[in-house]
Chain A
Amino acid sequence: MSWEDVLGAARLREGERAFLVRLLQLLCESRGLKAAALYSGSEECFERQVMWGSEAFPASIDGDDSGGYESLELPEGRLLFAPGEEDWKRPKGPIVLALASGLRAAVLRLQLKEQSFVVNYRGVELEALYEVGLAIASMLNLEQLGEEILLRAVSLLDARRGALYLRSGGRLVLDHTLGGDAMPELPLDDPQVAQVLGPGLGGEQHLLPGARHLMAVPVGAEPNSRGILVIADKESRHGVGPFPESDRRTLALFANQAATALETAYLHRQALEKERLEREIELAADIQRRLLPTAIPVAEGFELAGWSRPARHVGGDFYDLMRLKQGRVGAVLADVSGKGLPAALMVSTIHSSLRLLVDREGVGPGLVQHLNRHIAASTAPNKFITLLVVELDPSSNEVRYVNAGHNPGVVIGSDGNVRELASGGLPLGLFGESSYESGSLVLEPGDLLCLYSDGLTECESPSDEEFGLPRLVDLLRASSDRSLSEVIRDVDAAVTDFAQGLSQGDDQTLVLLRRTA
């Protein structure tokens, strides 16, 4: 190795390290040394930069320790060397000067590189914070969002571990964890949690079992925070340590951004859920509309009509008009407990069951007992159905009925008298073995039979007054010269006027049967 070779390395741009290695080689060959290593550092610790020869010089050495090798102090570090077998000389002269200059350049380059790294990573931090408010805010999948928030928080602050807890009722449930176990859930009144969520942020909590240095911040401002974000054990090349206070501010800023993103995702989920429910309700309402009779059975000497106005898209009222055997006609009005989809399903059940059984058994106690057993077995214990079913025999003008806990229907005679259809038993579905009895009456010319749901008579005005059965009966009494479709329009108009726009909580249903001759 010669000076020309060393300068040649510099000209060939082999790099700073190759240049220094060649210098070390030149030093060893010219001073009779076996090997040499160049360390950078201060008084406390030196780190090996380059070496030449077959000796296994340590990667780092303490200030007072030279690892058993000969040493020479340099302005920016230390030179270690192993003497040759014989006739060796201590390093000195221009080569040492060149090594010191090269080491100085290497140290400056390292410092520049470290500063450049810090500046660049600050860019990564800013990018992460910016993206939380942008990319994450547009992430609407809560599962992915929770993971993304935790990953970014952990990487942003060089944490070794982390966990994200989100509020669920009165507790915090573990959403995601990284790098180790975490408590599956935390009560909000836990003193450690209360300290994180409260004004006195800080303290070395132990929310992550086994963590040595922990930092936790609320996700969003109290009292409406979404949860807490916990990170632990700040990493460096030498192990883990505590987080500086500036990291807490960064994490808090990040957590606030995350809270906004979570809020957006929650609202999106709620909107989707609402949309899904509305689609289901619309579907159920469509099915229920199809259950309503599309044709009115014709019975000579009689007129029939039905009408229903659900309080929601899917109501709990149901009526049906049926042609039965031997020219008979059936009518039913039922009111299912509850509203919405569960009520619609029960309506569907009672509709199909009734249609299957009524033609075979006719209207009587047996039919209603069968229906009751079926409903009791197929619905929840707290669900029930009130039902009034009637069967008209046009040949005898006789009406047979069973009332299962429903408002008594009424028959308004041409003379104005009112008879009630009260015979029956308990609502369907309460007790599987309930027994029922039937009632009967004969319709005279002009008699009007009316089945109604309580949503009609209990319709409320803004002054908390109920429409009531007497008003309905008065309306019907005054309608003898009007067709049943006109009567229904009159009732509809009267109830609407009475409510004066007040939203009603229950369905309104009416079935009318009049003997015309």
Chain B
Amino acid sequence: MTEMLKVTVDRRHPMAVIYTEGYINNQGGEEIARVAYDLIDDDHKVLLLNLQGTKIVNSIGISILIEIIEKMLEIDGRLAFCNLTPTIEKTFHIMGLAQYAKIYPDEGVAIGELSG
């Protein structure tokens, strides 16, 4: 069973893919935010969160993801998600994240569209 969230990044300037593995809770969300803000400071304006390794997210994690989305909107950037479990995808829709961040079925489709 997954313990602390692990985050890795694939930089493809001006885009970056953030991979998560584990529980997106308070600690996990803050780690994602730290990585995302570093990327924003490094002038990455398109961020793709690949949640293939994440099966669980709680409300604190969601609130932090919303903050990242707001930050991206402020800089006229874009945040998108891919590889969500059905449960997490449904949660994102209910919580309104899907209104401001597009959800793609997989990374290939996401990169193809976000790069275009």
Contacts and interface: CB of A to CB of B under 8 A. Distances in A.
Interface of A: 15, 17-18, 116-117, 120-121, 123-124, 127, 131, 147, 151-152, 154-156, 158-160, 176-180, 235-237, 239
Contact of A127 (B2, B56, B63, B94): B94
Contacts of A15: 73-74
A237 B90 contact: no
Contacts of B55: 147, 151
Interface in B1-56: 1-3, 23, 25-27, 55-56
A380 to B, nearest CB: 39
Contacts, number: 64
A179 B94 contact: no
B60 A237 contact: yes
Given A152-B87, A237-B26, A158 B60 contact: yes
Interface of B: 1-3, 23, 25-27, 55-60, 62-63, 66, 73-74, 87, 90-91, 94-96
Nearest to B2: A178
Contacts of A155: 56-58
21 contacts: A18-B74, A121-B95, A124-B59, A124-B91, A124-B95, A127-B91, A127-B94, A152-B87, A154-B23, A155-B56, A158-B60, A160-B27, A178-B2, A178-B23, A178-B56, A180-B3, A235-B25, A235-B26, A235-B60, A237-B60, A239-B26
- 7 interchain residue pairs of minimum CB distance: A155-B58, A151-B56, A158-B58, A235-B26, A123-B94, A121-B59, A120-B95
Determine chain A's interface SS by DSSP, over half rule: helix
Nearest to A154: B56
Contacts of B66: 117
Contact of B90 (A121, A127, A147, A177): A127
B14 to A, nearest CB: 21
A90 to B, nearest CB: 30
A120 B94 contact: yes
Given A120-B96, A124-B95, A158-B25, A147 B1 contact: yes
Contact of B63 (A117, A151, A176, A178): A117
Contacts of A154: 23, 56, 58
